[in-house]
């Protein structure tokens, strides 16, 4: 008789036959259930997106007119949470269907172009593109790992090449392009796997500058490092355990317009303050 040992993350492992076909099947079923549980339209994923948007706006308040360095810390949550939301969507569509992935990429590319002028109006003398090109390349890389067809692999390789060649022009650089894939790899796994995307997130956030600031005793740098490392874990816990919260309004395609619009709104606030 096969005995079972239930571990904390909900996966089942057999004691007597750890390599059995039944055991492998059980693990596959449990992982699929975990993915579907975290990504179904029950409010948790939309809550993550809204919190990511809020974190981004808080971060950009630093450019309105008052220098508040501590706003940098909650801002470190925004990008990894957007990447986690992307990974959760990819995990769900793989379990259900692969339709809509090209539309997903198309919307990212469209609003990458639409957002660039408001982005540069709000943050002058910036040397990187807005964040959406990084997310678009990250989507291609994650899909290349997930799809495993020649077409998706070639697109992923092209995205990695562009990220390597133009890392200085991409917000969050080469490691920012890898972060959606790192998030995808840990969905449905035990919590301690979140250290992987945490390290990738730290690398994407100019860890050398943060480390130097932390050595000088900067509270913003120290807390920024901590925020980068724990952001994936916080996001994964939210997706898994936020089912009891009242769901926020679902984020649909109109939400793409919030990105350029928030730049224009904050720019208007800055003009009023000035």
| pLDDT one-digit tens code per residue, 76-98 | 999 999 999 999 999 886 544 55
Residues 136 and 256 in one domain: yes
Number of domains in the chain: 2
Residues 162 and 236 in one domain: yes
- Whether the per-residue pLDDT at 140 is higher than 80: the answer is yes
What is the residue-wise DSSP string for 36-92? HHHHSSSSHHHHHHHHHHHHHHHHHGGGTT---GGGHHHHTTHHHHHHHHHHHHHHH
Domain region containing 29: 1-39
* Among candidate residues 202, 270, 274, 195, the one with its CA nearest the CA of residue 234: 195
Residues 8 and 124 in one domain: no
Residues 69 and 7 in one domain: no
pLDDT grade for 31, boundaries at 50, 70 and 90: low
Is pLDDT larger for residue 182 or for residue 19? 182
Residue 98 has what pLDDT? 56
Q: What is the pLDDT of residues 204-248, one digit of tens each?
A: 998 888 999 999 999 999 999 999 999 999 999 999 988 777 888
- Whether the per-residue pLDDT at 273 is higher than 80: the answer is yes
Q: What is the mean pLDDT of the chain?
A: 85
Residue 68 has what pLDDT? 80
Cβ atoms of residues 228 and 208 within 8 Å? no
Mean pLDDT of 171-187: 97
Residues 56 and 76 in one domain: yes
Residues 21 and 119 in one domain: no
* Among candidate residues 228, 255, 218, the one with its CA nearest the CA of residue 74: 228
- Whether the per-residue pLDDT at 2 is higher than 50: the answer is no
> Structure pTM?
0.82
- Rounded to a whole number of angstroms, the CA Rg of the chain reads 20
Which residues have a Cβ under 8 Å from the Cβ of 175 and sit 6 or more positions away?
Answer: 200, 201, 203, 204
Residues 18 and 115 in one domain: no
Please count the residues of the chain. 274
- Whether the per-residue pLDDT at 7 is higher than 50: the answer is no
Most distant CA pair in the chain: distance in Å?
75
Is pLDDT larger for residue 18 or for residue 108? 108
Residues 88 and 10 in one domain: no
- Whether the per-residue pLDDT at 14 is higher than 70: the answer is no
Residues 119 and 161 in one domain: yes
Rounded to whole angstroms, the Cα distance separating 87 from 72 reads 24
Rounded to whole angstroms, the Cα distance separating 197 from 39 reads 18
Residues 131 and 209 in one domain: yes
Instruction: Please state, in angstroms and as integers, the Cα–Cα distance from residue 163 to each residue in 33, 156, 194, following that order.
Output: 34, 10, 23
Cβ atoms of residues 143 and 90 within 8 Å? yes
Residues 8 and 121 in one domain: no
Rounded to whole angstroms, the Cα distance separating 184 from 248 reads 24
Rounded to whole angstroms, the Cα distance separating 35 from 14 reads 22
Residues 26 and 70 in one domain: no
Cβ atoms of residues 119 and 263 within 8 Å? yes
Name the token pair of 245: 């919260």
């Amino acid at each position: 008789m096969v005995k079972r040992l239930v571990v904390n993350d909900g996966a089942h492992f057999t004691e007597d036959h750890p390599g059995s076909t039944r055991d492998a099947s059980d693990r596959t079923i449990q992982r699929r259930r975990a993915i579907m549980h975290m990504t179904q339209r029950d409010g948790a994923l939309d809550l993550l997106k809204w919190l990511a948007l809020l974190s981004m706006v808080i971060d950009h308040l630093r450019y309105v007119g008052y220098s508040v360095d501590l706003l940098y810390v909650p801002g470190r949550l925004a990008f990894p949470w957007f990447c986690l939301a992307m990974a959760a969507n990819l995990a769900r569509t793989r379990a259900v269907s692969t339709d809509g992935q090209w539309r997903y990429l198309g919307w990212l590319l469209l609003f990458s172009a639409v957002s660039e002028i408001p982005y540069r109006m709000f943050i002058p003398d910036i040397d990187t593109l807005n964040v959406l090109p990084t997310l678009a390349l990250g989507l291609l890389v994650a899909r290349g790992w997930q799809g495993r067809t020649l077409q998706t692999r070639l697109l992923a390789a092209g995205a990695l090449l562009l990220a390597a060649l133009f890392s200085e022009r991409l917000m969050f650089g080469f490691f920012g392009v890898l972060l959606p894939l790192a998030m995808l790899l840990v969905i449905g796994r035990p919590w301690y796997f979140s250290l992987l995307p945490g390290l990738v997130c730290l690398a994407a956030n100019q860890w050398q500058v943060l480390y130097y600031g932390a050595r000088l005793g900067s509270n913003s740098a120290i807390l920024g490092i901590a925020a980068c490392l724990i952001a994936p874990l916080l996001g994964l816990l939210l997706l898994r355990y936020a089912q009891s919260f009242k769901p926020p309004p679902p984020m649909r395609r109109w939400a793409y317009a919030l990105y350029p619009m928030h730049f224009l709104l904050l720019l208007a606030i800055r003009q009023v303050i000035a």
